[in-house]
Amino acid sequence: MTFERGDEKPSPPGQARNPALDITKGLLVASMLIHHAMDYFAPGMALHRYVRFVTGAFPLLAGFVISNVSLRKHASVRGAAARRCLLRGFRLVVLFVVLNLLLAAVTGGAGARGMDDVYAVFVSGDPAKSAFDILLPIAYTVAVCGVLTLGAGAGAWGVRLSAAAALGLLAWCSAAFLEQRGGYNVRFLAIGLCGFALGFIPRTRVDALLRRVPLVLCAFTGLVIIAAIIRFYYPLYVAYTIVTAALLYSLGLAIARHASLSRLVARIGMYSLFAYVAQIGFFQALARMGFVSESWPKIVRFLTALALVTLATWLLVESLAWARKRLRTIDWTYRTLFG
């Protein structure tokens, strides 16, 4: 997934949006809602370790979309994809900083306790020191993939370069951060580069493979069983993230056949970055308001928070989509902040 623009204008001929990809991003947003509901209101639930894939799935899809969609879309202009990726990466870093500063202002500094530790936040990565932490690995993924697109013009050699970069960084991370302690930004950057390398597989082949749902389900079930037996070491986490994202894409292919359901889920996917930011804001507000009582059973706290924030996020996304079509100011603001 990448965090896409939510641009609903018709694509040029031959460059139509991939509805299954938008639906996959929508399903990832739903998975992130479950993940955050557990983080805030039901820590320690057994299911939590199996939805952690969503953190890695976002940079994975970010890299995939760059090579599978953006690079082909801007193939006629040399360096266009690279310039767009570098600019987008920079804007994501700026958005990360602005959101954390706003959160610190609202919470009196509690929401961004370690933003003054530049190395821990921007280099190694430490989710305990900032909010909206996945934005940085996505920004770095987009920027690095942008540079790699310059080599992709060399055809097969560009693909080999991308694969070598992904495998090399994965091998280093597996050795240095086997138990997933430390190296937050670089671990997820490596997953993003995997997505970039996989994105060179033509969409027709991806669709043909992932329509074999029993095969994807077997791979997913096998990894779940392995994860239940041994620790979630980094290589296992990477494989689990890729296979789970593939399973969601398989679901996306199936959902795309149903127009009304497809539009509902794809809309969330088109506004995935906005939805991600909005849900964190809603969860923070819900936790501070004390609306969900600590005395309630854990499962009740989880389901209540999940239902409330899901509804609020969906309503906000729909309101934004409606407003963008009617007010140029809102459309311009959205594109400036999230485009």
pLDDT tens digit string along 87-121? 999 999 999 999 988 888 877 665 555 566 788 88
pLDDT for residue 252: 93
Cα–Cα distance measured from residue 324 to residue 319, given in angstroms and rounded to the nearest whole number: 9
Domain count, the chain: 1
The mean per-residue pLDDT over the stretch 252-262 comes to 88
pLDDT for residue 77: 62
Burial 322-334 (b: 16+ CB within 10 A, else e): eebeeeeeebeeb
Q: Give a yes or no: residue 261 inside a domain.
A: yes
Q: Give a yes or no: residue 56 inside a domain.
A: yes
pLDDT confidence tier of residue 12, bands split at 50, 70 and 90: very low
Least confident segment among 20-24, 52-56, 197-201, 290-294: 290-294
The 8 Å CB, 24+ separation contacts for 223-227 are 224/50, 227/49, 227/50
- State the average pLDDT for the chain: 86
pLDDT confidence tier of residue 8, bands split at 50, 70 and 90: very low
- Collect all residues with Cβ–Cβ distance below 8 Å to 66 and sequence separation of at least 6: 2, 81, 85, 142, 145, 146, 149, 196, 199
pLDDT for residue 14: 45
Select from 66, 19, 6, 4 the least CA-distant residue to 249.
19
pLDDT for residue 124: 86
Q: Give a yes or no: residue 13 inside a domain.
A: no
Q: Give a yes or no: residue 3 inside a domain.
A: no
- Collect all residues with Cβ–Cβ distance below 8 Å to 56 and sequence separation of at least 6: 188, 191, 237, 238, 241
Range of the domain at 70: 19-338
Cα–Cα distance measured from residue 47 to residue 43, given in angstroms and rounded to the nearest whole number: 10
pLDDT for residue 10: 45
Q: Give a yes or no: residue 23 inside a domain.
A: yes
Reading the block at residue 143, the tokens are: 């920027």
The mean per-residue pLDDT over the stretch 258-279 comes to 90
pLDDT confidence tier of residue 7, bands split at 50, 70 and 90: very low
Cα–Cα distance measured from residue 336 to residue 339, given in angstroms and rounded to the nearest whole number: 6
Q: Give a yes or no: residue 4 inside a domain.
A: no
The helix or strand, by DSSP H or E, that contains position 101, with its residue range, turns out to be: helix 80-107
pLDDT for residue 155: 58
Q: How many CB atoms lie within 10 A of CB 8?
A: 13
Check if the beta carbon of residue 305 is closer than 8 Å to that of residue 283.
Answer: yes
Q: Give a yes or no: residue 69 inside a domain.
A: yes
| 62, 70, 138, 189, 212 from 75: Cα distances, Å | 18, 8, 22, 24, 31
The mean per-residue pLDDT over the stretch 248-264 comes to 89
Q: Give a yes or no: residue 8 inside a domain.
A: no
Q: Using one digit for the tens of pLDDT, what is the confidence trace for 327-338? A: 999 999 898 888
